[in-house]
């Protein structure tokens, strides 16, 4: 059997990661046709990335055809898997998401707080349209979404999308990064390690840590707590490292993801971002420079492998996460992976239709979340608050509701008060008017 994979947002700088992942798994995952689809505004990047992908395939000697298209129906037709990695409004929109909140003295970040809200408002209607097209062009395909904010996109698909709940999966490279980082700290091969994850996208906790099947949670957290370098060891490229006290780590009893820094060290992160804003060096501006350099590298006709420089983009382990998941679904492996799926009773206290990020058994029928039960008291409150924020974000996006957008941002813990929430929403709505038609009907 051969597989057709459609990647929407094919001109993304992440695409070489995905191609690399498919090539490494060619013996078990027979992708015969990879369709890279994009919009006309991304033509130049799509052609550069597509040509690099073809050179990578040729070097690997794998019988995989790479197709480039701006016709979404053609790309979706008969696809077995659809992956989405889009950015509505491109990097200019991200820069507005980061700078406008900072002008008002609150955190501006791609997936958290005001930035996360507006990325969701722009993205959710587009992903729902893609899901609707899938029901016509490839009704049996799986949708694997890597577009941020991944959890909120999956939440929208769960509540408003046409796909069955087992046919869409949200994905993030943060949990797999955490696994590899902990394995490095422990000095073991990551194949010996398993972490039971539970929470939300970019708000996930490692609840249990196993080495060779033996629970080593307490010992591992103690090791992490005692290391002066643990902050940098567990950090990702796009988030400033923060050191947590041993007392906090021991008492929490769970492994944090890097995005928790925004909530447990809000003042430090805000101070850092305000300094970057003043210096004209916020993350979006740095990413623009990284992207420019990456595409110059990709355009080199002698390059036929995934370049190491891609790790600076924050996309490290994307191929491991995305291709591992697709491989496991196709081969019905039954292994356990952390994904964004419909809760369906896995985490008590979160309704069944909501999406959570949780370790799941991966089968040909789709992921099945492992039952977690009640979350620890120390983490449950924050999870519930962020889930309320996510729910309101999704409702605002689908309905074009100004009131719900303001309420969503007001209840987010990164927002100091309702008045600031309204000011920021007003300015961001106007800044993104072209990409928010539902709010301006």
Which residues are tagged catalytic? 259
What whole-number distance in Å separates Cα of residue 66 and Cα of residue 56? 10
Burial degree of 293 (CB within 10 A; 0-12, 13-18, 19+): middle
Which regions of 135-182 does DSSP assign to beta strands (E)? 142-145, 168-170
Q: Do residues 104 and 27 make contact, with C-beta atoms less than 8 angstroms apart?
A: no
What whole-number distance in Å separates Cα of residue 137 and Cα of residue 131? 10
CA-nearest of 124, 121, 87, 94 to 108 is 94
- Residue showing tokens 């005692």: 226
**3-state secondary structure string, 8-54?**
ECCCCCCHHHHHHHHHHCCCCCCEEEEEEECCHHHHHHHHHHHHHHH
CA-nearest of 152, 110, 151 to 397 is 152
What whole-number distance in Å separates Cα of residue 51 and Cα of residue 355? 37
What whole-number distance in Å separates Cα of residue 307 and Cα of residue 322? 18
Q: Do residues 196 and 359 make contact, with C-beta atoms less than 8 angstroms apart?
A: yes
Tokens of 166: 């087992």
Q: How many residues does the chain have?
A: 441
Q: Which residues contact 437 (CB under 8 A, 6 or more apart)?
A: 400
Burial degree of 351 (CB within 10 A; 0-12, 13-18, 19+): exposed
What whole-number distance in Å separates Cα of residue 338 and Cα of residue 340? 7
């Amino acid at each position: 059997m051969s597989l057709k994979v459609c990647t929407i947002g094919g001109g993304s700088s992440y695409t070489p990661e995905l191609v690399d992942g498919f090539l490494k798994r060619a013996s078990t995952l027979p992708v015969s046709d990879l369709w890279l689809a994009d919009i006309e505004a991304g033509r130049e990047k799509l052609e550069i990335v597509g040509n690099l992908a073809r050179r990578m395939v040729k070097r690997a000697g794998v019988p995989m055809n790479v197709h480039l298209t701006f016709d979404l129906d053609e790309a979706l037709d008969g696809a077995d898997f659809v992956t989405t990695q889009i950015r509505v409004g491109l990097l200019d929109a991200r820069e507005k998401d980061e700078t406008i909140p900072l002008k008002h003295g609150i955190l501006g970040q791609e997936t958290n707080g005001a930035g996360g809200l507006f990325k969701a408002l722009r993205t959710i209607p587009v992903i729902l349209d893609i899901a609707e097209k899938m029901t016509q062009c490839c009704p049996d395909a799986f949708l694997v979404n890597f577009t941020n904010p991944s959890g909120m996109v999956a939440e929208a698909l769960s509540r408003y999308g046409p796909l069955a709940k087992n046919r869409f999966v949200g994905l993030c490279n943060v949990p797999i990064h955490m696994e590899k980082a902990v394995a490095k700290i422990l000095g073991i091969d990551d194949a010996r390690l398993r972490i039971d994850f539970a929470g939300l996208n970019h708000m996930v906790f490692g609840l249990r840590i196993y080495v060779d099947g033996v629970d080593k949670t307490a010992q591992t957290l103690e090791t992490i707590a005692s290391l002066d370098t643990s902050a940098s060891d567990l950090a990702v490229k796009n988030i400033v490292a923060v050191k947590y006290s041993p007392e906090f780590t021991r008492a929490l009893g769970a492994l944090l993801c890097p995005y928790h820094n925004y909530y447990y060290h809000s003042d430090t992160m805000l101070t850092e971002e305000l300094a970057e804003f003043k210096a004209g060096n916020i993350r979006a501006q740095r990413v623009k420079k990284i992207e420019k350099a990456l595409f110059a590298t990709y355009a080199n006709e002698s390059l036929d492998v995934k370049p190491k420089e891609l790790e600076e983009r924050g996309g490290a382990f994307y191929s491991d996460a995305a291709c591992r998941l697709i491989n496991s679904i196709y081969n019905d492996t039954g292994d356990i992976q952390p994904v964004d799926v419909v809760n369906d009773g896995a985490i008590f206290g979160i309704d069944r239709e909501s999406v959570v990020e949780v370790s799941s058994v991966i089968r040909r029928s789709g992921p099945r979340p492992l039952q977690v039960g009640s979350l620890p008291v120390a983490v449950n409150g924050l999870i519930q608050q962020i889930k309320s924020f996510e729910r309101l974000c999704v409702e605002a996006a689908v309905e074009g509701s100004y009131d719900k957008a303001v309420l969503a941002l007001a209840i987010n813990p990164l927002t100091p008060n309702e008045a600031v929430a309204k000011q920021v929403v007003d300015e961001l709505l106007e800044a993104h008017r072209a990409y928010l038609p539902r709010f301006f009907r």
